[in-house]
Amino acid sequence: MNDYTIRLEEKKDYREVENLVREAFWNVYRPGCSEHYVIHVLRDDPAFVPELDFVMEQDGILIGQNMFMKTIIEADDGRTIDVLTMGPIGITPELKRKGYGKAILDYSLENAAKMGFAPKEKLKLPGQIFG
């Protein structure tokens, strides 16, 4: 499955990426979807991280995307913890469940870590029973 490339999204990709995300999420969680509009709006938000805004291509056609936003967690003890939020992550419907989503996710997380966004402390969330 190494028949793809991952690169930063460019402005010329915006409409095509929004169409891809609309198709990826259409009628998945509810009738219709709004994820394509969400990414349209997020790109103009100051918390948007353009250095972590990726697209996946196969034979010159966009087949996936992933993006990140900076945010904070306000801990019960008063601390604020800088974190990244991810998504939506979208893969064209005919390629879902074939490993492309995991590939762009792994690539995105590697690049986030290289930029210094690796976890500095382990968070225990309410009700968390794992790791």
Residue-wise pLDDT for 29-46, tens only, equals 778 788 887 899 999 999
SS3 57: strand
Residues 6 or more apart from 19 whose CB is under 8 A from it? 36
* 121: pLDDT strictly greater than 70: no
| CATH 3.40.630.30 corresponds to the domain 5-114 | yes
- State the amino acid at position 14 in one-letter form: Y
Q: Can you tell me which residue has the tokens 């995300």?
A: 21
Query: What H or E segment, with its residue span, contains residue 70?
Result: strand 68-74
Alpha helices, H only, 26-59: 35-42
Q: How far apart are the first and last CA of the chain?
A: 30
pLDDT in the model for residue 124 = 55
Residue burial 72-84, b: 16+ Cβ < 10 Å; e: rest: eeeeeeeeeeeeb
Query: What H or E segment, with its residue span, contains residue 73?
Result: strand 68-74
- State the amino acid at position 51 in one-letter form: E
How is the chain split into domains, by residue range?
5-114
For residue 131, what pLDDT band results from cuts at 50, 70 and 90? very low
pLDDT in the model for residue 127 = 52
Residue-wise pLDDT for 22-81, tens only, equals 998 887 777 878 888 789 999 999 999 999 999 999 999 999 999 999 988 898 899 888
SS3 61: strand
